[in-house]
Amino acid sequence: MKKILFIASECVPFIKTGGLADVVGSLPKLIDKRYFDVRVIMPKYMCMRQEYKDMMEYVTHFYMDFNYQSRYVGVLQCVYQGVQFYFIDNESYFGGGAPYGNIREDIEKFIFFDKAALSALPLIGFKPDIIHCHDWQTGLVPVYLKDSFRAGEFYQGIKSVITIHNLKFQGTWDVKTVQTIAGLPDYYFTPDKLEAYKDANLLKGGIVFADCITTVSNTYAEEIKTGFYGEGLDGLLRARSGDLRGIVNGIDYDEYDPATDSFLVHKYNAKNFRKEKIKNKRALQEEMGLDVDDSKFMIGIVSRLTDQKGFDLIAYIMDELCQDDVQIVVLGTGEERYENMFRHFDWKYNNKVAANIYYSEALSHKIYGSCDAFLMPSLFEPCGLSQLMSLRYGTVPIVRETGGLKDTVFPYNEFEGTGTGFSFMNYNAHEMLATIRYAKRIFTERKREWNKIIDRAMAMDFSWKASAGKYTEMYDWMLE
């Protein structure tokens, strides 16, 4: 039985701010339990919901030298959906109202977490063959395994892998502070190790010292080796390209299923969507105060409203797009200028644009289950989950060919009758507009073709099961 330990800063259902939590929550329960014992260790945040804290039971506690002080480390545990979870407890570090705060405090908090998690392993009696680290918050785990923990017999032979969920966030601060907190010798703070552009960089440490590196799609794995997408670490990623692989994220096919989704007014599946899905569209048009009209091309957007997601392109052509026979339903929050841009167009084209500047789980499901198309023109997108949900719900994605979007949405080819969505290559507003108009033309003039695109989209399998298989292959390869 091979033992795998996930170390991460967040995990569903306990705490979630982004896609990282979905990966850490979904993957361990789908990895084959006959061959792998997969467990998860994460911080016990005070801001977790009480019902989850009530599930935890005390295991042990100890004191650890950290940043020239003796620090309390509590260890709690629970079993959730067949997976063993451990929680590292220290109220002075994990007591805030949110899992992340200002970066200086976060750096100290997660260095503490990394050291505490490794120190707890002999006490809980679990020696992993592989430690699977996630993002910069766990970047020091591979470093510690090669340094201060190397002497301990218990830690001999433990391998590490780090998954980059978004290279933009690296955990950087000045060398002197990080060196003091981490208690690592000067040897580690050189440009070939943790130092990058005069600062200490925790993610870089993880990338340098991990035995294997993954990221969340094949295309993103290639893109981050280039200057444009590499966020200053492209040289290092090229140097380690032999150990770097992309494995696309999945979504929970039980939670996102139009046949059972409790948020939808009318349930449907791949067989009856032609009759049933349209009823959701009418219901959403009514709810949003838009014209109730089957022939309108209804485009959904569920997103953080930021530059990364391509909203500067949308802002540029929004007036032009609204001259067409379309309806646009937006859900999300983010940068003020984009929030106000959508509010403005909602006011200006009231029967065409519905701006919902907040977040609602229910409305997000309704958008996936009601719209004709889903727009996602990202500047970069490590994996992306929204396009996977829209494929699952037969809402045709219109995406830019980058990262995970390129790997999961196959562009419609009218001559071969293939494809599951529409895509454009260059980061250009009018190229995007032309693609939207092309999709609208197929929707309006070639309904049978449009329905066949939906057939193919709903037949795709981006469940976690497929990804879990790829991860187990990698674990086997590492242990050979």
pLDDT digits (tens, 9 = 90+) for 360-394: 989 999 999 999 999 999 999 999 999 999 999 99
- Residue 107: its pLDDT value, please? 97
| Residue 341 amino acid letter | M
The dihedrals phi and psi of 56, each to the nearest 5 degrees, come to -85, 145
What tokens does 13 get? Answer: 């259902």
* 128 in the same domain as 102: yes
Q: How confident is the model at residue 114 (pLDDT cuts 50, 70, 90)?
A: very high
Torsion sign, CA atoms 314, 315, 317, 321: positive
Q: CA dihedral defined by 62, 79, 155, 120, rounded to 10 degrees?
A: -10
* 290 in the same domain as 227: no
- Percent of the chain exceeding pLDDT 90 equals 94
* 445 in the same domain as 469: no
In a domain, 455, yes or no: yes
Q: From 478, 424, 423, 414, select the one nearest 452 (Cα to Cα).
A: 414
- What is d(CA 292, CA 207) in angstroms, rounded to the nearest whole number? 52
- What is d(CA 427, CA 311) in angstroms, rounded to the nearest whole number? 11
Question: Contact 466/253 with Cβ under 8 angstroms?
Answer: no
Give residue-wise pLDDT tens across range 199-255. 999 999 999 999 999 999 999 999 999 999 999 999 999 999 999 999 999 998 988
Question: Contact 136/170 with Cβ under 8 angstroms?
Answer: yes
pTM: 0.92
* 286 in the same domain as 243: no
Question: Contact 167/380 with Cβ under 8 angstroms?
Answer: no
* 375 in the same domain as 237: no
Q: How confident is the model at residue 276 (pLDDT cuts 50, 70, 90)?
A: very high
* 324 in the same domain as 440: yes
Torsion sign, CA atoms 100, 104, 109, 113: positive
How many angstroms from the chain centroid is the CA of residue 133?
Answer: 15
* 76 strand-pairing partners: 58, 87
What tokens does 431 get? Answer: 């190229």
Question: 191 vs 197, 233, 466, CA distance in Å?
Answer: 8, 11, 38
3-state secondary structure at position 58: strand
In a domain, 256, yes or no: no
Total domains in the chain come to: 2
CATH number at residue 338: 3.40.50.2000
How many angstroms from the chain centroid is the CA of residue 253?
Answer: 16
Count other Cβ atoms within 10 Å, centred on residue 396: 26
In a domain, 260, yes or no: no
Range of the domain at 187: 2-250+465-479
- Residue 17: its pLDDT value, please? 85
* 58 in the same domain as 8: yes
In a domain, 340, yes or no: yes
Is the peptide bond preceding residue 122 cis, with omega within 30 degrees of 0? no
For tokens 């794995």, the residue is 221
123, pLDDT greater than 90: yes
Q: How confident is the model at residue 98 (pLDDT cuts 50, 70, 90)?
A: very high
* 19 in the same domain as 82: yes
3-state secondary structure at position 105: helix
What tokens does 335 get? Answer: 């940068």
Name the E strands within 107-168: 130-134, 159-164
* 238 in the same domain as 293: no
Question: Contact 135/215 with Cβ under 8 angstroms?
Answer: no
* 183 in the same domain as 110: yes
* 290 in the same domain as 223: no
* 436 in the same domain as 415: yes
Residues found in the chain: 480
